[in-house]
Amino acid sequence: MTIIAAADGSALGNPGPAGWAWYVDESCWAAGGWPESTNNRGELTALLELLRATAHTGEDLLIQADSQYVINSVTKWMKGWKRRGWRKADGKPVLNDDLMKAIDEALVGRTVRFEWVKGHAGHPANERADDLARAAATAFQRRTAVPAGPGWTRGGAAPEQRTVAESAAAPGPEGDVVPGSTAARRAALRAQQEAEHSEQQAPGTLF
């Protein structure tokens, strides 16, 4: 059996209030976020949380995602990064390496494929994951309760679910917090987002 799930991220301002979500169906999904982060960190966290939520199942996983950055990072670039000590071909440190390393660890022993889907093009699961990630980001923007979802509800012992507070405290760029003023944090996040954007390549369909 193969688990089919969508994973997506959202940021309001990019950087700004951000969210992540993975979605199987209306009875099996999860979401979370942070007061300030980037869209790409939301996308990566959605993947990581999905891998963790399904780790106990022993099932293959097909992940539907609209992020070229995420898919290419895992399927094309990660092997070279690891060989170079988590550095890119130009010698610069890999961006979001905290999440990349966690994803790499979560992939061990798993059979995982990716299907690229065009964002905002009517793909039902992708649209729903996007809605949930955006709802989480909006909740942080408005300082309201975050719709965290039921989590993994299928067979087997479910993994321990993190609370909304724990999700909010999840690592941001460069560890837990970007030091300095709010303006400095936003500038650092914006610079990181621009660097990530320059790395993206056109994907295929299945990886």
Is 105 a catalytic site residue? no
176 labelled binding-site residue = no
Task: Give me the catalytic one of 16, 33, 43, 196.
Answer: 43
- What b-and-e string marks burial along 53-87, b requiring 16 or more CB atoms within 10 Å of the CB? bbbebeeebbbbbbbbbbbbbbbebbeebeeeeee
Task: Give me the catalytic one of 120, 122, 160, 194.
Answer: 120
Q: Residue 76 is encoded by which pair of tokens?
A: 């094309």
**Contacts (Cβ under 8 Å, ≥6 apart) of 24:** 3, 4, 5, 125, 154
Is 123 a catalytic site residue? no
Task: Give me the catalytic one of 49, 66, 115, 196.
Answer: 66
Pick the closest to residue 103 from 74, 77, 126 (CA basis).
74
66 labelled binding-site residue = yes
Task: Give me the catalytic one of 36, 49, 127, 130.
Answer: 130
130 labelled binding-site residue = yes
Is 43 a catalytic site residue? yes
Cite the DSSP H helix spans in 55-176: 68-72, 78-83, 97-107, 124-142, 164-168
Is 196 a catalytic site residue? no
Interatomic CA distance for residues 26 and 168, integer angstroms = 23
Interatomic CA distance for residues 181 and 32, integer angstroms = 24
131 labelled binding-site residue = no
Task: Give me the catalytic one of 9, 16, 19, 32.
Answer: 9
Q: What amino acid positions are annotated as catalytic residues?
A: 8-9, 43, 66, 120, 130
Annotated binding site: 8, 43, 66, 130
Annotated binding site for Mg(2+): 8, 43, 66, 130
